Structure 1
Amino acid sequence: MSAPRTNLPVDPARIAAVIDGLADITEPGRPYTRRAFSALFPDGRAFLAERFRAAGLETRIDAAGNLIGRRPGRVPGLGTIMLGSHSDTVPDGGRFDGIAGVAAALEVARALADRGTELEHDLEVVDFLAEEVSIFGVSCIGSRGMAGVLPEEWLARESGGLTLGEGIRQAGGDPARIASEPRSDIAAFLELHIEQGPVLEEEKFDIGVVTAIAGITRIEIVVDGRADHAGTTPMAGRADALAAAARLVTGVEALAKSFSGGKFHFTATVGEFSIEPNAANVVPSRARLLIDARAEERAMMELFANSLDQMAEQIARETGTAIATPRRISDNPPTPADPMLLAVLERACDTAGASNRRMASGAGHDTAWMARATRAAMIFVPCREGRSHAPEEFAENDDIALGAAVLLQAVVQLDGELQEVNQEAG
């Protein structure tokens, strides 16, 4: 991380005021908890909308419930350069995840106004609805809706007597119009986010230029054994589902370690685990585990899945249990960043004097869905000890401000380069 800078083209104090203002809007006794569709979420949105308007942005909420602030460009119809992230949190989560990106995007609009810089393109700042996993069990609702890939059947999902469609309507959106209003005017999308990992801090880089957002595959494995008396059944005659499942858990860890540490990002975690009958004096008859696997390269995911199939077959043979073929519950491919935007961001880092390295994102982000609709890329700024999704999550305001300066430089570059690309394509 760099030392504090005094020559940035952005105002760090304004960025801090937005982050701190949202941090104050939290559930009592639960620091930094302001989930989408909760009673406090509209308060956070009202806070942001007021600051969008104070920055001279034309403010609206689109059909998918996204809060958007618009700064018109000089050439109508040329397209929109969009910046932003999300302001909702996980329960007992951090005050920088997503929020830093919204604050930085807003600061870019303010800095352009301060400098009297008129862009050819429209500029929009967006706060996406429900990037985090919501009460409806799904995430990235606003960005999926904007990109035109929100499954219509999701609107009927229910939680506490409220459907997702009703929740979007309460947020100011119009679920009936989402499918018919995907955005086609966005020329490029950029997102700033805290890294949520330790690499930038440990390696002392200012900025991570994100090459790809890892694909996320969740795989369920069910092990069937036989329930027997724990005190009378000889050890050699058991079909212990838990013992077999334990071998799977350690096997998944070993596989993941063998895949990681190289050029491409890969992780695998057994995040859910249950056994039956879960009684102290009964040999477990069934175990279920759910694996969260993330890969920057699709080929690595397929190799992991094939290796997992072979492991399950071997453990079943050796333990006398029945292990069904591991089943993919969900399977999203990796999202590579746009090559042109990567080059622009790296040049912007050089202009801003920010040291940088390329890296993949192991977490999901709204950028992955915006990439379905337009050129998209993102940058990371360091966070303390890599902590995130916890009250201890922290990022230095100077680091966020430097990231905002990089975004500002990138926007100015893109305003000219996108026109040249379009002219060449035409």
Structure 2
Amino acid sequence: MTVRINRDRLWSTLVELKEIGAYDDAATGLRGVRRLALTDADAEARRRCVAWMVEAGLRVRVDRIGNVYATRPGRDPSLPCVLMGSHIDTVATGGAFDGTLGVLGGIEVMRTLNDAGIETLRDIEVGFFTEEEGVRFGTDMLGSAVTAGRIPLDHAHKLTDADGKTVADELVRIGFDGDAHERRPVPHAYIECHIEQGPILADAGVDIGIVEGVQSISWQRLTLRGEAAHAGTTPISARHDAGLVAALVVVEARRMCDSGEFGQLRATVGNFTLGEGQTNVVPHEATITLDLRNPDDALMTAAEQHIAAYVASTATHHGVTAAWERMAKTAVVPFDTGIQDLLAATAEDLGLPYVRAMSGAGHDAQEIAAICPTAMVFVAGENGGISHTPREYSTPTACANGTDVLANAVLRLANQPQSGAGAII
């Protein structure tokens, strides 16, 4: 049995949700989305998604970290469910597709099954996870990491934003401090549909990617402390310039990427602040964040060791102290080969060409992979696959094709009988 989702209905929900948290972006001249986790905009988007879930006849529950799940019952509720999901929070300069496609696509799968009157053996669930982006509270994939057991609930609840507001208090404030246990029942399988956020699919001329896994990710915050001094009277040789050391670290991170010594390393300094910066004062403090990505765990370790040694020697040379804070770290996560093959077969049955690819971005799927067989469907983006900007865009056709693959793979999984320890057969 093959199903096709309602393409116009999916697109209309994407367009509607985009307006929640919408803003006019001066840098691009485009309409972007700013929907940081647990803000008022996020709360409104959550309520809109819950309304769509209820309208589709789904049973909704919210857990203690604010993750939301909606269930379409199967014939045998004793069997583990098939789970779809992603996130609806965005970065401060986001677009309409990152994360949102996987959630609204999952809701559309449920509607499509309802329209066709299709029953499944297993329950099917669609969910969205709290604070995937990590922009507000500093830890990405927070909700999925809590439900998978990597981050304790108490630790997550105590995380604070730049204004000192905690995750726990904000969950209460927006009304999403649920009572379901955060360690959810283990699914039979999990599939996440997501825009690629890169150029691989577009370069190959296809809409569909079968994701093999997620590369290693390292987030650290580096604080450098020197000594404030007069910009005009202090000799260069006598300065303890924290800003200079921070700038040198940025340049060294780029050199590491260009050198090839650390494989396919990608390094980004996304935040750079100079304490109470003043035009005529040598900076006494600088804080930067360093985002490292690498598809090879050993080379990631080598890169981290190198930058740590570089910072230590450079800071000492300039009379500056350095303090590191680990924000996040995940190893390379390979996805289940059985589900990858099922997705590939589904795409072939639908007549959709595809490529296999490694994900450069982090996703909730990498956390859920720790508890059940997991894989992802990538959907091609326009403009070179650019994301985390209002320029992010995917076509109605690509979004629908990706959701068709999701729907038919989930339907097959949801009709699988129990085999061994929940194996994908």
Deviates more, 1:187-196 or 1:148-157: 148-157
Query: RMSD in angstroms over aligned alpha carbons?
Result: 3.3
Q: What's the CA shift for 1:155?
A: 1.9
Q: Is the 8 A contact 1:92 1:391 kept in 2?
A: yes
Q: Is the 8 A contact 1:227 1:283 kept in 2?
A: yes
2:154 is aligned to: 152
TM-score with structure 1 length normalisation? 0.83
Distance 1:352 1:92, change over 3 A: same
Distance 1:309 1:113, change over 3 A: same
1:257 is aligned to: 258
Residues 202-231 of structure 1: CA distance to partner in whole angstroms, max 9, x if unpaired? 232222222222332124445566666555
* Amino acid across the alignment from 2:338: M
Deviates more, 1:226-235 or 1:163-172: 226-235
Distance 1:219 1:70, change over 3 A: closer
Distance 2:261 2:356 in 1: 17
Residues 32-53 of structure 1: CA distance to partner in whole angstroms, max 9, x if unpaired? 3333333343432333233223
Distance 1:221 1:166 in 2: 28
Instruction: Extract unaligned runs of 5+ from structure 1.
Output: 1-6
Residues 91-146 of structure 1: CA distance to partner in whole angstroms, max 9, x if unpaired? 34211111111121122222223333322111011122332336444443432343
2:271 is aligned to: 272
2:28 is aligned to: none
Distance 2:89 2:344 in 1: 29
* Amino acid across the alignment from 1:362: G
Q: Is the 8 A contact 2:61 2:178 kept in 1?
A: no
Q: Is the 8 A contact 1:10 1:405 kept in 2?
A: yes
Distance 1:298 1:417, change over 3 A: farther
Distance 1:31 1:219 in 2: 27
Q: What's the CA shift for 1:406?
A: 0.9
Instruction: Extract unaligned runs of 5+ from structure 2.
Output: 25-30
Distance 2:179 2:411 in 1: 36
Distance 2:59 2:225 in 1: 59
Task: Tell me, yes or no, if structure 1 residue 23 matches structure 2 residue 18.
Answer: yes
Task: Tell me, yes or no, if structure 1 residue 196 matches structure 2 residue 197.
Answer: yes
Q: What's the CA shift for 1:418?
A: 6.3
User: How many residues matched?
Assistant: 414
Match for residue 168 of structure 1 among 171, 188, 192: 171
TM-score with structure 2 length normalisation? 0.84
Q: What's the CA shift for 1:12?
A: 0.8
Distance 1:281 1:27, change over 3 A: closer
Q: What's the CA shift for 1:192?
A: 0.7
Q: What's the CA shift for 1:398?
A: 0.7
Distance 1:329 1:58, change over 3 A: closer
1:120 is aligned to: 121
Distance 1:357 1:150, change over 3 A: farther
Q: Is the 8 A contact 1:352 1:409 kept in 2?
A: no
Distance 1:423 1:327 in 2: 39
Residues 288-317 of structure 1: CA distance to partner in whole angstroms, max 9, x if unpaired? 433111122221111112222443455467
1:3 is aligned to: none
Q: Is the 8 A contact 2:74 2:124 kept in 1?
A: yes
* Amino acid across the alignment from 1:166: D
Q: Is the 8 A contact 2:32 2:389 kept in 1?
A: no
SS in 1 for 2:375: strand
Residues 19-40 of structure 1: CA distance to partner in whole angstroms, max 9, x if unpaired? 1121233356574333333334
Distance 1:25 1:330, change over 3 A: closer
Distance 2:220 2:37 in 1: 27
Distance 1:421 1:407 in 2: 24
Q: What's the CA shift for 1:161?
A: 7.9
5 Å-filtered alignment, 1:9-408, equals: 9-26=4-21, 31-133=32-134, 135-148=136-149, 149-157=151-159, 163-174=166-177, 178=181, 181-221=182-222, 230-231=231-232, 241-259=242-260, 265-275=264-274, 278-284=277-283, 287-312=286-311, 315=314, 319-322=317-320, 324=322, 328-385=326-383, 386-408=385-407
Deviates more, 1:320-329 or 1:65-74: 320-329
Distance 1:233 1:175 in 2: 57
Distance 1:254 1:26 in 2: 37
Q: Is the 8 A contact 2:139 2:328 kept in 1?
A: no
Q: Is the 8 A contact 1:308 1:326 kept in 2?
A: no
Distance 2:160 2:241 in 1: 38
* Amino acid across the alignment from 1:273: F
Distance 1:424 1:37 in 2: 36
* Amino acid across the alignment from 1:341: I
